[in-house]
Structure 1
Amino acid sequence: MKIPKRIQPLVEEGLIDTVVRQLMSGKEATVFVVRCGEETRCAKVYKEASQRSFRQAASYQEGRKVKNSRQARAMEKGTRYGRKMQEETWQNAEVDALFRLAAAGVRVPRPYICFEGVLLMDLVTDADGNAAPRLNDVELSEAQALAYHAQLLHQVVLMLCAGVIHGDLSEYNILVDAEGPVIIDLPQAIDAAGNTEAGPMLERDVHNLATYFSQFAPQLATTQYGKEIWKLYVAGLLRSDTVLTGRVEAPKGQADVGAVMREIALARKEEEERLRYQNAE
């Protein structure tokens, strides 16, 4: 096929020989199957910010590091240079996460390079060598659903032990190769220790998995793996081989409603006194 304009620089640099076909187009990028010498890989071409349906919400940006204070100020002000830096930070987040997670044993595509807004990485394939399907396109038995759910929980734990949370995990960004699920699409990945929304995002990712797989294995619908995983992580007890139960003990003892109401009344009284003092001046 004709070489897309965004991929042309990689061809000129000798990183890609030919473009075979378009594989898929999503909310943040278009992916092409390419040939690199004897290898078949994929090239993920990031869409411009104005074309993406997935916005760079502040909750995802929190905790991400930039090269210097000038870049940070420009990003805060939203200048042209700042927007360019924000785009690079967004794209590099996926590259950094992929390298980091691959080293931690997480099942993700192996990355090679991100050049001019194009990420070159391994093509995930099925047993016949064809592009692997998305999880939502695979028909599952109850046993397969339980097995895949368990495998993905383990991947989530490995990711968290490496300090990374996917942030947008669902059946649409998980591929299924000959050995099982492979996690993809990580430009919104967050730093677990540097983001105040890390806990809720982790729980949402795990809840998404339970919701999807419960269609095939209803017993998963009432599990609490997300809360359990995060609780163990915060306590410093989460390990790659931690055995999960899917249950979280309810807080012991009843809430002291009277004490809460007294605190509210006291705060209200202090505010009234402060206003009276202010008006008397």
Structure 2
Amino acid sequence: MRQSRKGLPSACLNCDPCPMKAPKRLQSLIDEGLVDSVLRQLMSGKEAAVYVVRCGDDTRCAKVYKAATERSFRQAVDYTENRKVKNTRQARAMAKGTRFGREAAEAAWQSAEVDALYRLAAAGVRVPRPYNFLDGVLLMELVADANGDAAPRLNDVQFTPEDALRHHATLLREVVRMLCAGVVHGDLSEFNILLAEDGPVIIDLPQAVDAAGNNHAQRMLLRDVENLRNFFGQFAPALLATQHGAEMWDLYTRGLLHPDTPLSGEFKSRQGPVDLGSVLREIDDARDEEHARQLRQQEAG
């Protein structure tokens, strides 16, 4: 995608932006010929640092994952449940918490996003196109706005009621496509959705879970959809009364959910015994989510 010329001195308007010194973690991609130069740092969060890089004639981004000790997002057992590893030795080491096990868990955490991106891109979900993954660095598409600049996150954009309804409907359809592909984002919010020139693009998937194999997938899906509802509901209050998450999950568990299944936003819950353990987990998750949201707001500020 075209690199913006905004803010460059007049002498630089006819040439490419001057590259920066390549960070150590990106040197292996340069040595392998996957990256030609590093143009600038796009962002640095608690989970990873992202750089804009040049690959031949293309401008892409490189996501450099930070070590687990430097991240705010915890590798909770809820997210890693039922994730497959290469062999039983790794699984045993991860369960024991040995140094090798911790390294294996870290590698599995990083590769989960790569696997999810390829899986979702193949299903037609609007995610950045992945190109390569090497030494803890994910090389992928740079999501751009109409000017060729890096696209903003939803939390940095103000919407009209009409635009809020339109983008909310688009993202609900993307969540349905993800669920039909067997994936739940697990941490979807206005902080990890970019507004590209042609609409929203979902990012940040290292915590994605298997919809059928993770016992917490339902709770995570409901929270993802609720986050979308609450954010867009600020601009279009009618959305606040919808129940799309519960409706989606009910259709999914009954084998009736397809990428083009129409949704009404209405759902009447079935009465049953209260699961106290689930209620307590919901409270803990809400507390963790609020803490993570405050951290993201600090980073965005």
Structure 1 position 2, deviation (Å)? 1.2
Cα distance, 1:249 vs. partner? 2.0
Q: What corresponds to 1:164 in structure 2?
A: 183
SS in 1 for 2:235: coil
Helix, strand or coil at the partner of 1:53: coil
Query: In the superposition, relative to structure 1, how do residues 250 and 79 fare at CA in structure 2: closer, same or farther (>3 Å)?
Result: closer
Residue from 123, 142, 154 that aligns with 1:123: 142
Which one has a bigger Cα radius of gyration? 1
What's the counterpart of residue 26 of structure 2? 7
Q: Which residue of 2 aligns with 1:186?
A: 205
Matched, 1:242 2:238: no
2:95 to 76, 80, 101: 76
- The residue type equivalent to 1:159 in the other structure is M
Deviation at 1:63, TM superposition (A): 1.5
Choose from 50, 68, 73 the match for 2:69. Answer: 50
1:225 shift after superposition: 0.5
Residue 113 of structure 1, CA deviation: 1.0
What 5-or-longer segments of structure 2 have no aligned partner? 1-19, 274-301
Instruction: Report the Cα distance in structure 2 between the residues aligned to 1:112 and 1:178, rounded to whole angstroms.
Output: 21
The letter of the residue matching 2:68 is: A
1:150 aligns with 2:169: yes
Q: Summarize deviations over 1:49-82 as a string: whole Å, max 9, x none.
A: 0000001000000011001110000000111111
Q: 1:112 aligns with which of 103, 124, 131?
A: 131
- Structure 2: how far apart are the matches of 1:199 and 1:2? 45
Q: Secondary structure at the match of 1:24?
A: strand
Q: Could you state the TM-score of these two structures normalised by the residue count of structure 1?
A: 0.89
* Corresponding letter in the other structure for 2:125: V
Task: Describe the SS at the equivalent of 1:130.
Answer: coil
1:176 counterpart residue number: 195
In structure 1, distance between residues paired with 2:139 and 2:179: 25
The answer for the alignment partner of 2:159 in structure 1 is 140
Count of residues in Structure 1 that have an aligned counterpart in Structure 2: 254
Q: Distance in 2 between matches of 1:249 and 1:96?
A: 35
* Matches of 1:215 and 1:25, distance apart in 2: 28
Counterpart AA for 1:107? R
The aligned counterpart of 1:226 is 245
Unaligned runs of 5+ in 1: 257-281
Q: What value does the CA root-mean-square deviation take over the aligned residues?
A: 1.1
1:83-142 deviations in Å (ceiling 9; x for gaps) = 111111001100000000000000000001110000000000011111111111111000
Q: Which amino acid aligns with 1:187?
A: P
Aligned equivalents of 1:227, 1:115: Cα separation in 2: 38
Tell me: CA distance 1:150–1:136, structure 2 relative to 1, closer, same or farther (3 Å).
Answer: same
Give 3-state SS (helix, strand or coil) of 1:182's partner.
strand
Question: What is the CA–CA distance in structure 2 between the aligned matches of 1:93 and 1:250, rounded to whole Å?
Answer: 33
C-alpha separation in 2, matches of 1:250 and 1:156: 21
What is the CA-CA distance between 1:250 and the residue it aligns to? Answer: 4.1
Q: What's the TM-score once normalised by structure 2's chain length?
A: 0.83
Q: Percent identity?
A: 66
The equivalent residue for 2:111 is: 92
Partners of 1:27 and 1:237 in 2: CA distance: 38
